[in-house]
């Protein structure tokens, strides 16, 4: 099957401008299982685009050899709105400058619309329910009439993803090690395999599923929310949807892209998407930990940051992670405010030395095993 190259045209927002989203299909439309992979919804996070740059030739070759009997959708850079946001020689890709929306929030929770359409038909036959739910979700998206570019992007992209069996959303952090966010419903199976194949240093899971409407959140939570809503119906978790954080923004090299592509490919082989032998599963580098155990260091005051600890380090509760220096305070060491770890765990993400800090700004994140009282009920997605 030749690779099919496709384009989503977005509505033009201003005279003389128009943007589109390129996407590719490997294998066969409608075949199962279906995998959906995208990168750069936060448009200035390009390690995922680099991984896909190296993965796509591998997929093309596998497809030509007839080894992809199902369907793989790849969207190498999903967010042309964010790609175009060049401001004063900087690429600002995290928030939509028009609506100020974070590009990875406010995706569409279709559980209500699906419940309305097919709720009464959901019974004890899990396979039948999966079919009904996928159809209803696509129908709900088709019924929407978005007017602007951002909403059209959300609707059209979800038409490609919402009926997939596996959804991989590739991101990165500012300075970070490879980590994975998943739902507790997947963490013992699909997510651990993915984390092991990718060599993730940390896997964190939401309990039971992410509340915030991130892209990976809405694709996976559709099933969990419907299962909660219709407890007597057999509704499986038919989509494994996850956010993969491919290290730091500046971690874009051919060596990393090539090894990430090799690992993603091996994962697809392991899941039976591509014919072949995956070989033994690499050892998981660290056990999954709950989002409620994730410590976020919020800056208590303004100043600039300098770190004592590199991303990826194992830290102990009470360890000094970084300090905020008040540039106007002439008292040397007394101008420094230390920020301490409040749990034992892996410092999986931080900002850069020299970054500006302001009160309440997240300066670092630590994946810890123990749920933390001060994190209960707090979203992990506050930036």
Q: Residue numbers of the site for Zn ion (CB under 5 A)?
A: 42, 45, 171
Q: DSSP secondary-structure letter at 208?
A: S
CB of 45 or CB of 193, closer to Zn ion: 45
| Least CB distance to Zn ion at residue 45 (A) | 5
CB of 173 or CB of 295, closer to Zn ion: 173
Of the candidates 328, 321, 333, which has an alpha carbon nearest to the alpha carbon of residue 302?
328
Query: Is-contact 292 345, C-beta < 8 A?
Result: no
Listing DSSP states for 163-189 in one string gives T-SEEEEEEEESEE--EEEEETTTTTT
| Least CB distance to Zn ion at residue 170 (A) | 9
Measure the CA–CA gap between 375 and 268, rounded to whole angstroms. 35
CB of 27 or CB of 217, closer to Zn ion: 217
Measure the CA–CA gap between 118 and 354, rounded to whole angstroms. 54
CB of 291 or CB of 341, closer to Zn ion: 291
CB of 171 or CB of 270, closer to Zn ion: 171
| Least CB distance to Zn ion at residue 3 (A) | 27
Of the candidates 115, 117, 163, 119, which has an alpha carbon nearest to the alpha carbon of residue 138?
163
CB of 171 or CB of 365, closer to Zn ion: 171
Three-state helix/strand/coil letters over 85-144: CEECCEECCCECCCCCCECCCCCCCCHHHHHHHHHHHCCCCHHHHHHHHHHHHHHHHHHC
| Least CB distance to Zn ion at residue 55 (A) | 19
Q: Strands 362-367, 294-298: parallel, antiparallel or unpaired by DSSP?
A: antiparallel
Of the candidates 47, 45, 25, which has an alpha carbon nearest to the alpha carbon of residue 35?
25
| Least CB distance to Zn ion at residue 12 (A) | 26
CB of 42 or CB of 134, closer to Zn ion: 42
Measure the CA–CA gap between 243 and 215, rounded to whole angstroms. 8
| Least CB distance to Zn ion at residue 26 (A) | 25
CB of 115 or CB of 212, closer to Zn ion: 212
- Please give the torsion angle defined by the CA atoms of residues 197, 192, 248 and 207, in that order, rounded to the nearest 10 degrees: 170
| Least CB distance to Zn ion at residue 87 (A) | 18
| Least CB distance to Zn ion at residue 83 (A) | 14
**Which parts of 207-292 are beta strand (E)?**
240-248, 289-290
CB of 171 or CB of 375, closer to Zn ion: 171
Measure the CA–CA gap between 19 and 239, rounded to whole angstroms. 29
| Residues of the chain by 3-state class (helix, strand, coil), percent to 5 | 30, 25, 45
**Could you count the other beta carbons within 10 Å of the beta carbon of residue 148?**
14
| Least CB distance to Zn ion at residue 48 (A) | 9
| Least CB distance to Zn ion at residue 217 (A) | 13
CB of 95 or CB of 265, closer to Zn ion: 95
Query: Is-contact 229 168, C-beta < 8 A?
Result: no
Of the candidates 102, 206, 207, 87, which has an alpha carbon nearest to the alpha carbon of residue 150?
102
């Amino acid at each position: 099957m030749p690779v099919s190259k496709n384009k989503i045209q977005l509505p033009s927002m201003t005279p003389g401008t128009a943007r589109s989203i390129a996407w590719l299909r490997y294998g066969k439309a409608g075949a199962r299982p279906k995998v959906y992979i995208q990168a750069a919804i936060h448009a200035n996070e390009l390690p995922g685009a680099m991984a896909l740059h190296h993965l796509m030739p591998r997929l093309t070759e596998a497809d030509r050899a007839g080894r992809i009997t199902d369907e793989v959708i790849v969207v190498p850079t999903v967010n042309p709105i964010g790609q175009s946001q060049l401001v004063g020689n900087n690429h600002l890709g995290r928030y939509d400058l028009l609506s100020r929306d974070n590009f990875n929030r406010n995706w569409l929770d279709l559980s209500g619309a699906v419940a309305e359409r097919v709720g009464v038909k959901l019974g004890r036959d899990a396979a039948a329910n999966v079919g009904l739910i996928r159809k209803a979700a696509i129908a709900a998206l088709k019924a929407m009439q978005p007017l602007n570019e951002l909403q059209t992007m959300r609707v059209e992209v979800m038409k490609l993803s919402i009926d997939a069996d596996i959804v991989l959303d590739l991101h990165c952090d500012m300075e970070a090690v490879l980590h994975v966010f998943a739902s507790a419903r997947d963490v013992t199976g699909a997510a651990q395999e993915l984390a092991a194949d990718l060599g993730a240093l940390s896997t964190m899971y939401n309990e039971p599923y992410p509340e915030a409407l991130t892209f990976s959140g809405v694709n996976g939570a559709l099933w969990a929310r419907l299962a909660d809503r219709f407890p007597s119906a057999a509704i499986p978790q038919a989509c494994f949807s996850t956010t993969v954080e491919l290290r730091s923004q500046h971690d874009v090299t051919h060596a990393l892209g090539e090894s990430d592509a090799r690992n993603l490919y091996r994962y697809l082989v392991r899941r039976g998407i591509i014919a072949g032998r995956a070989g033994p599963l690499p050892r998981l580098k660290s056990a999954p930990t709950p989002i409620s155990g994730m410590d976020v260091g919020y800056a208590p005051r303004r100043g600039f940051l300098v770190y004592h600890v590199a991303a990826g380090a194992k830290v102990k509760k009470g360890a000094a992670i970084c300090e905020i220096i008040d540039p106007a305070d002439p008292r040397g060491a007394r101008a420094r405010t230390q920020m301490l770890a409040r749990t034992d765990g892996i410092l999986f993400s931080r900002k850069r030395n020299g970054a500006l800090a302001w009160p309440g700004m997240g300066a670092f994140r630590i994946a810890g095993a123990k749920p933390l009282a001060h994190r209960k009920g707090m979203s992990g997605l506050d930036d």
